[in-house]
Structure 1
Amino acid sequence: MTNITKINLGQNGPLVSKLGLGCMRMSPVFGSPVRDETESIATIQSALDSGINFLNTGDFYGAGHNELLVGKAIKGRRDDAFISVKFGAIFYNSQMLGLDLRPVAIKNFINYSLVRLGIDTIDLYQPCRLDNSVPMEDVIGTVADLIKEGKVRYLGVSEITADQLRKANDIHPVTALEIGYSLADRQIENDLLPVAKELGIGVVAFANTAEGLLSGDMKAPLEPDAYQNHFTRFQGENLVKNLEKVEVLKQIARDKGITPTQLAIAWVNAQGNHIMPLVSMSRRSRLPENMRAMEIVFTPEEINALNTNFAPGAILGGTYLQR
């Protein structure tokens, strides 16, 4: 069994696994189907058994379903898990209506989260985004108050700009930044990643396969009901050109005897000891493959080939990460 390395989440943060488990896809979000709950719980427990202690969820994933699921999985083994929770998004009928980041709403959200998770304290609590609808001082200040009350241990932030990260950290020390990062989405390398490193903030990197683009399984055109069709990256000639780029990744993966998904995760992992790949899965069978990705090392030639082929801007079109 792969031995998962432990790292400090941020310069002065807690010890967590270098690989995180994203639990979102275990619940119906954006109209996705309901997964086998027994298998999802078993997947979380198998991850914990394997040394993966960082579990990422959100109070709006499946209208609380995901937190209930995580709560069932960690019952009786709270000390084995580090729970990261996002809040702030308002959904109705699987459609996101906007954000509610008012202090009164945050205080309401966390009480429901604690009950659904069956715990007394959330390890990492973070607004899912910031939209200037509420002063940042009020949003971050409310989480800081919850830390003082003992309902939260550490402050996280998600999908924000470099300037917002500096400001949030000035209000209260930020332990972790959750952000999309992959070979296909490297725009954060210019400013956000350097600021996080400068401030000693850990990076929790999701979407390592860029919504499936780097999995090696995607073909053009996509099925009509594929959610990726909403994004210009996956439309028409953009997708055709982007998949040509992926062929280089697939060849390197074949040469190394690994899967394209493993390569995509391994590249993110190789970007620094302060960066944690956050991988979503809902089946136990995916655990060994994803864990083995953490052991993969690249030659300088392989890194050069990947970085050249997937230089910032090389992938055509955008996703919500470029909003």
Structure 2
Amino acid sequence: MTTTTTITKIGLGKNGPLVSKLGLGCMRMSPVWGSKGNDENESIATIQQALDSGINFLNTGDFYGHGHNELLVGKAIKGRRDDAFISVKFGGIIYGGQFRGLDLRPIAIKNFIDYSLVRLGIDTIDLYQPCRLDNSVPLEDVIGTVADLIKEGKVRYLGVSEITADQLRKANSVHPVTALEIGYSLADRQIESELLPAAEELGIGVVAFANTAEGLLSGEMKAPLPANAYQNHFPRFQGENLVKNLEKVEVLKTMAKAKGSTPTQLAIAWVNAQGDHIMPLVSMSRRSRLPENMQAMEIRFTPEEMNTLNTHFAPGVMRGGTYLQR
């Protein structure tokens, strides 16, 4: 399947580089949260086809698949480093398939980055960010360490992920923050009250993941979920909560049918429409997914359609929390 869709470029924040308006999340290409990894050759081909299609923002983490994801990205970009903008998250400690906490000590960060550079086969990481903050280490020390790595030439830009508006302002006062990575979707709009306005005010780009709210907005989820589904850990996907939440998704399914699109495409398109400084970050591990996700970037909503979505999916209407609502 071929597509003529052209992915536009945006400035990542007011002082950042030009990147694709659609980002590629690489996490699911590796074994994470107990899942099996995907076919490695297909994953590499997907990254390369994304680069060929103008999607240059590749998102990974040093703890995805215990380094497997960085090795995979490294293989995919070999010989074409300049085509890719590499975003790496650090700090997560995974053992036995479980998230065990964070290690954000400066000495650990300096250790993490050298391993990442070797696995990726590059000299400089474009965007480097703590995966979240937990107050175990002063924010100034975490951000200051990345600032030191920027001075050393090992990192180009500072990013942050899954933090509060106050933490974002504080981090930006230590060193200019280029991008904020955060979960954002029609079903998860809690960041609209404080965090998004802060990012816009400070001129920080927003990399928005979980656009389908862990599959809730895909139109394909049915209650109850299979016993082995990772979503079962979160109240949103349990019992009557899931039944009621899926009823809300019917409106999205109806609109998608009328527009000749899929609910997933509309979910991505809605995030894309929230601002020129906001990048939908979409996880893909198969080339077959690229055309539909790229086409989602061309979907436009009438004022009436946007009003319907914003009203029907008003902040707080979804029942039950997820890990995004810590």
TM-score by length of 2: 0.99
Q: What is the SS of the residue equivalent to 1:155?
A: strand
Equivalent position amino acid for 1:163 in 2: D
Equivalent position amino acid for 2:210 in 1: A
Q: Which residue of 1 aligns with 2:29?
A: 26
1:277 aligns with 2:262: no
Aligned match of 1:7 in 6, 10, 15? 10
**Structure 2 unmatched runs, 5+:** none
Q: Distance in 1 between matches of 2:225 and 2:14?
A: 42
1:88 aligns with 2:91: yes
1:259 aligns with 2:268: no
Equivalent position amino acid for 2:201 in 1: E
Q: Which residue of 1 aligns with 2:291?
A: 288
1:196 aligns with 2:199: yes
Q: Distance in 1 between matches of 2:101 and 2:226?
A: 28
Aligned match of 1:37 in 29, 35, 40? 40
Q: Deviations over 1:95-131 (max 9, x none)?
A: 1110000000000000000000000000000000000
Q: Distance in 1 between matches of 2:140 and 2:170?
A: 9
| Distance apart, 1:93 and its partner CA | 1.2
- CA RMSD in angstroms comes to 0.4
Q: Deviations over 1:152-173 (max 9, x none)?
A: 0000000000000000000000
Q: Distance in 2 between matches of 1:60 and 1:32?
A: 14
1:138 aligns with 2:141: yes
1:247 aligns with 2:250: yes
Aligned match of 1:111 in 111, 114, 126? 114
Q: Distance in 1 between matches of 2:140 and 2:240?
A: 44
Equivalent position amino acid for 2:134 in 1: D
| Distance apart, 1:27 and its partner CA | 0.2
| Distance apart, 1:232 and its partner CA | 0.4
| Distance apart, 1:226 and its partner CA | 0.7
| Distance apart, 1:222 and its partner CA | 0.7
Equivalent position amino acid for 1:228 in 2: Q
Q: Which residue of 2 aligns with 1:312?
A: 315
**Structure 1 unmatched runs, 5+:** none
User: For 1:53-202, what aligned pairs fall within 5 Å after superposition?
Assistant: 53-202=56-205
- % same residue: 86
Q: What is the SS of the residue equivalent to 1:175?
A: strand
Q: Distance in 2 between matches of 1:312 and 1:46?
A: 36
Equivalent position amino acid for 1:273 in 2: D
| Distance apart, 1:91 and its partner CA | 0.6
Q: Distance in 1 between matches of 2:230 and 2:92?
A: 19
Q: Distance in 2 between matches of 1:94 and 1:87?
A: 17
Q: Distance in 1 between matches of 2:287 and 2:37?
A: 16
Equivalent position amino acid for 1:268 in 2: V
| Distance apart, 1:34 and its partner CA | 1.4
Q: Distance in 2 between matches of 1:187 and 1:171?
A: 26
Q: What is the SS of the residue equivalent to 1:86?
A: strand
Large movers: runs of 4+ above 2 Å: none
Equivalent position amino acid for 2:136 in 1: S
